[in-house]
């Protein structure tokens, strides 16, 4: 018996854990309570109108911020493309420096 335990200790432990998990999975239905409305889960709590309004307001602010960021990025991209058309020289470097200072 000691030889079997030494040789197959982890196999025996693994089979025991697998059996325990299977029993818990099969017997979990015995421990669930049924609610008055017939469902087996707890109902979600009601969300207040104040909280819903706060979420709507936050979503609107986030949308406005994304749109403003996109518009600013497009204007910077147009300015950079315009600078890219200028031949390499002092004027191009000056305009690039002005653009970078504005960031």
pTM: 0.48
Identify the band that residue 15 occupies on the pLDDT scale cut at 50, 70 and 90.
Answer: very high
| CB distance 64 to 58 below 8 Å | no
What does 45-76 look like in DSSP terms, one character per residue?
PPPPHHHHHHHHHHHHHHHHHHHHHHHHHHHH
86 to 32, 55, 76: CA distances (angstroms): 74, 47, 16
DSSP for residue 103: -
35-94 pLDDT, tens digit each: 666 666 667 788 899 999 999 999 999 999 999 999 999 999 998 898 888 888 888 888
83 to 54, 69, 79, 96, 103: CA distances (angstroms): 43, 21, 6, 7, 16
Residues 6+ apart with CB under 8 A from 99: 76, 79, 80, 83
């Amino acid at each position: 018996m000691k030889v079997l335990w030494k040789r197959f200790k982890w196999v025996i432990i693994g089979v025991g854990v697998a059996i325990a998990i299977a029993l818990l999975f099969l017997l979990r239905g015995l421990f669930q309570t049924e609610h008055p409305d017939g469902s087996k889960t707890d109902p979600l709590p009601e969300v207040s109108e104040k909280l819903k309004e706060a979420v709507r307001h936050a979503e609107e602010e986030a949308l406005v911020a994304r749109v403003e960021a996109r518009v600013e990025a497009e204007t910077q991209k147009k300015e950079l493309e315009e600078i890219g058309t200028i031949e390499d020289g002092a004027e191009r470097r000056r305009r690039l420096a002005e653009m970078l200072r504005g960031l």
